[in-house]
Amino acid sequence: MKKFFSTSYLVLLLVMLYAPIIIIAIFSFTESKVLGNWTGFSAELYTSLFSGGVSDRLIDAIKNTFLIAFVAATVSTLLGSVAAIGINDLRYRKRRVVNFVNNIPILNPDIITGISLFLLFVSLGITQGHATVILAHIAFCTPYVVLSVMPRLVQMNPNIYEAALDLGATPMQAMRRVILPEIRPGMISGFILAFTLSIDDFAVTIFTNGTDGLETLSTFIYADARKGGLTPELRALSTIILVVVLLLLVVVNYRAARQAKRAEEQAKQIKNYSRR
């Protein structure tokens, strides 16, 4: 009985969270210009999205979004991982200071990050465009990469690295053979997180994209919404993104579950073997 209540509570919350998204998904199969107005089933929005039925402005915005996210996530992952290795080796005082500054962009609301970077670019006289948006995204993504790599370094046995050096590995070899395999999962989740944050960002982008009309999906939608409505094709695009991410998650989870099972079986075998 208790279990029934707790399960239904979670289901209820999820229904609430998903209700708006389900509405988008349902209404991506009708042509109506206004979200919430059903004018019969049609896959028109999907075909129009892929056959050039949408404005070049939207296509550019989509391209920009993914380009910016990819570059920003890649650079943040490299910068953040190298930084985490370095920070972990700093002495206590310095490490605390760097970690404190690293947490600032995470605690700061987007709008403050956006405005502060806007003021920076303005005072340096840098023309705002692709470069400034990418730099800004790197600035707010890298701290998350550092945070996701750091625990793996902290948990690592420091003697392994020293042992590699004692056994004649150069520092670079020790880095590649010992530290890199250890932090790789943290780097991957850091990359994914950075990519997600960058795609979803609106507040930082709008303050750093300049006046040359550089648009990402977020700024495009914002401009669109202020004119009174969402471009219908975006319903189809959002649905596609949702399904793709859902599939990816299922695959990742399935693989993780299989790996866990295999590890368990191996452990059992070893146990049996040692008993003999």
Binders in 13-72 for other proteins, by CB under 8 A? 13-14, 16-21, 23-24, 27, 35-36
To the nearest whole angstrom, how small is the minimum distance from the Cβ of residue 47 to other proteins? 20
3-state class (DSSP) for residue 40: coil
Taking CB under 8 A as the criterion, the residue among 31, 57, 79, 126 binding other proteins is 79
d(CA 205, CA 222): 12
Cα separation of 168 and 166, whole Å? 5
| Distant-in-sequence, close-in-space partners of 78: CB < 8 Å, separation ≥ 6 | none
Cβ 50 to other proteins shortest distance, Å: 19
Alpha-carbon distance of 252 to 10, in angstroms, equals 23
- Binders of other proteins in range 188-247 (CB under 8 A): 193, 196, 199-200, 202-203, 207, 217-218, 221-222, 225-226, 230, 234, 238, 241-242, 245-246
Q: Looking at beta carbons only, is 227 or 275 nearer to other proteins?
A: 227
Tokens 């389900």 belong to residue = 22
**Smallest distance from other proteins to CB 29, Å:** 15
Please, which residue, 172 or 276, has the CB nearer to other proteins?
172
CB of 237 to other proteins, least distance (A): 9
Angstrom distances, CA of residue 141 to CA of 84, 96, 133, 192, 253: 14, 20, 12, 10, 25
Candidates 30, 64, 128, 142; binder of other proteins (CB under 8 A) is 142
Span from 43-51, 52-60, 148-156, 264-272 in contact with other proteins (CB under 8 A): 148-156
Q: Which residue carries 């999962």 as its tokens?
A: 185
How far the first Cα of the chain sits from its last, in Å, is 46
Residue 83 touching other proteins (CB under 8 A): yes
- Applying CB under 8 A, among 73, 150, 164, 204 the residue interacting with other proteins is 150
Closer residue to other proteins in complex, CB, 125/276:
125
Residue carrying structure tokens 């042992």: 163
CB of 87 to other proteins, least distance (A): 5
Evaluate whether 145 touches 81 at the Cβ level (below 8 Å).
Answer: yes
For the bound state, the minimum distance from the C-beta of residue 6 to other proteins, rounded and expressed in Å, comes to 4
Q: Estimate the share of the chain in helix, then strand, then coil, as percent rounded to the nearest 5.
A: 80, 0, 20
